[in-house]
Copies of this chain bind each other. A is one copy, B any other.
Amino acid sequence: MSATSSASAVSVEDAAAIRAILDRHVDARNRHDMDAFVADTTPDADWINVVGMHWKGRDNVPQAHAVMHAGLFARSRMLPPERSEMRQIAPNVVIETHVGRLEGVGLRPDGKPYPDDGNLMTMVFVKSHKGWRIAHAHNGHIDKLAAPYDPAKDRS
């Protein structure tokens, strides 16, 4: 962390609590249990998926995921999060990023395979009296054809 950083380190306890949510979340996803999938989100959580669909609120997020899990993702499995990083940007607010990988995804509606390069996920966690919750998620494909051109790949 640089000397000019404005973020605070995440405490060991908070990091463990957030990691536990990530693990529960993957488990719920792999059981296609959409109620469990959103159990750790705030009521008004936004969810933006890898193709730019923007789902708003705890009602829409599981319904939208359920449709996907009845089709494209029916036999898919998410591997444990890789390269998880956390930054506390304000009291009780942590931004977590990780790489997520899926196995067994079906063909997309256009007949093309789902990219297997992994996805880069941003999750914004907020702590309340109920503990840490996911307030916002933004997922995106990692494009392995673009990666060699990353101008910061040797620095960050």
A contacts, CB < 8 Å to B: 1-2, 4-7, 42-44, 46, 48, 50-60, 63-64, 66-68, 87, 89-93, 95, 97, 108-110, 117-120, 122, 124, 126, 128, 133, 135-136, 138-143, 145-147, 149-153, 155-156
Contacts and interface: CB of A to CB of B under 8 A. Distances in A.
Contacts of A155: 60, 63
* Chain copies in the assembled complex: 2
Given A52-B143, A110-B145, A146-B109, A90 B87 contact: no
Contact of A89 (B97, B122, B136, B138): B136
A92 B90 contact: yes
A122 B122 contact: yes
A50 B141 CA distance: 8
Contacts of A4: 43-44, 58
A95 B68 contact: no
Which of A52, A142, A156 has the most chain B CB atoms inside 10 A of its CB? A52
Contacts of A139: 140
A56 B43 CA distance: 30
Contacts of A118: 52
A121 to B, nearest CB: 9
Considering the complex of A and B, which 8 residue pairs feature the smallest CB-CB distances, nearest first? A52-B142, A67-B151, A51-B143, A51-B146, A64-B152, A56-B156, A5-B44, A138-B138
A42 B89 contact: yes
